[in-house]
């Protein structure tokens, strides 16, 4: 069981800070930032998540009201 990514494996974590560029050219501080932002259609909320200083803060913002109604459907891997 994997309990976390630490030390030399930290880069495997969604919380690892590195630039992630989406198909629209937006740059996110981590894959967690990008994932949480995609829960919303509101550009204002996406920008708020983009501006989050940490991935933990982005995750917390991703629990805010206003998640897109089709999130459960579009978030599934196909």
Instruction: Report the domain count for the chain.
Output: 1
Distance from C-alpha of 34 to C-alpha of 22, rounded to nearest angstrom: 8
What pTM did the predictor assign? 0.87
Task: Kindly state whether residue 11 falls inside one of the protein's structural domains.
Answer: no
Q: Is the pLDDT of residue 4 over 90?
A: no
Q: What is the pLDDT of residue 77?
A: 64
Sign of CA dihedral 35, 31, 49, 3: positive
Q: Is the pLDDT of residue 78 over 70?
A: no
Task: Kindly state whether residue 40 falls inside one of the protein's structural domains.
Answer: yes
Task: Kindly state whether residue 30 falls inside one of the protein's structural domains.
Answer: yes
Q: Is the pLDDT of residue 68 over 60?
A: yes
The 10 Å CB-count burial string (b at 16+, else e) for 33-67 is bbbbbbbbeeeebbebbbebeebebbbebbeeeeb
- Which residue range is the domain that position 48 belongs to? 19-65
Task: Kindly state whether residue 54 falls inside one of the protein's structural domains.
Answer: yes
Q: What is the pLDDT of residue 24?
A: 86
Task: Kindly state whether residue 26 falls inside one of the protein's structural domains.
Answer: yes
Q: Which residues contact 34 (CB under 8 A, 6 or more apart)?
A: 20, 22, 26, 28
């Amino acid at each position: 069981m994997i309990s976390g990514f630490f030390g030399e494996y930290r880069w495997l974590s969604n919380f690892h800070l590195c630039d992630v560029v989406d198909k629209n050219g937006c740059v996110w501080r981590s894959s967690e930032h990008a994932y949480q932002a995609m829960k919303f259609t509101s550009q204002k909320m996406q920008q708020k998540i983009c501006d989050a200083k940490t991935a933990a803060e982005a995750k917390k913002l991703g629990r805010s009201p206003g998640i897109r109604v089709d999130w459960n459907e579009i978030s599934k891997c196909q």
